Amino acid sequence: MKLRTSGLVPIPLKDRLSARQSDIWSQSLELEKGRYLSVLAPSGTGKTTLIQSLYGIRRDYEGAIFWGDQNLRTVTEEELAHLRSTQISIIFQDMRLFPDCTAWENLEIKRSLTNTVSPEQVSEWMLQLGIADKKNAPAAQMSYGEQQRLSIIRALLQPFSFLLMDEPFSHLDKRNTRIASGLILSVVQQHNAALLLADLDENDFFPYHQTLQL
């Protein structure tokens, strides 16, 4: 399975993007399993739009996105759910946690969907990222940094071939970023998955095979 885009242009940004050169918008992009891609995206160039379009949350674009041989625009809700639970995982920039649920419930609701990661493993990862003591705390009462670490663990609780990340460490300090990226890399390698990270600046969070300008 690989990710392909062709002539992809987000309609709301169409006028603004035509004035500048991009390696992704209006171009063809291919990403295969096991490859690590960094997307550098200055503010306003459509970083979140790209991640959300690839994940099937937004459909206001021209061109096409293919996951394997499935055109994202024509897949059914059920096929999309299958892709999201077995092939593509995501770390949202805005975390998107259930605010009334505890940290553990936020992870369990994702873990139980495929049941491919044990609860013990989840506890171990929480300990590793320093949020084990927040297990029973409602997500709404956690700091942004803690919420971000929670959303990182949540993204790893399913089988995946592609991991999409939208500024995944924006609320973390260097030490926590290093620990979190180390955890992500080990799980990505375990799945032999591809990763696509969109961030504002150049970074060395992962050993990228390719860096593209948005």
Given the rule CB under 8 A, which residues bind another protein?
55, 57, 77-78, 81-82, 84-86, 90, 96, 98, 100-101, 105, 108-110, 112-114, 154, 158
Q: Which residues of 115-153 are buried (b: 16+ CB within 10 A; e: fewer)?
A: eebeeeebeebbeebebeebeeebbeebeebbbbbbbbb
Give the nearest distance from C-beta 103 to another protein in angstroms. 12
Give the nearest distance from C-beta 81 to another protein in angstroms. 3
33 and 192 Cβ atoms separated by less than 8 Å? yes
Q: What is the DSSP letter of 94?
A: T
Nearest CB to another protein, comparing residues 77 and 201: 77
Q: Which amino acid appears at position 199 of this protein?
A: D
Report the DSSP pairing between strands 194-199 and 162-166.
Answer: parallel
Give the nearest distance from C-beta 142 to another protein in angstroms. 16
Nearest CB to another protein, comparing residues 84 and 209: 84
Give the nearest distance from C-beta 97 to another protein in angstroms. 8
Nearest CB to another protein, comparing residues 92 and 169: 92
| Cα–Cα distance for residue pair 71/66, rounded to 1 Å | 5
Nearest CB to another protein, comparing residues 23 and 79: 79
Q: What is the DSSP letter of 158?
A: S
CA angle 169, 174, 177 (to 5 degrees): 40
Nearest CB to another protein, comparing residues 92 and 205: 92
Give the nearest distance from C-beta 16 to another protein in angstroms. 27
Q: Which of 152, 214, 213 is nearest to 186 (CA)?
A: 152
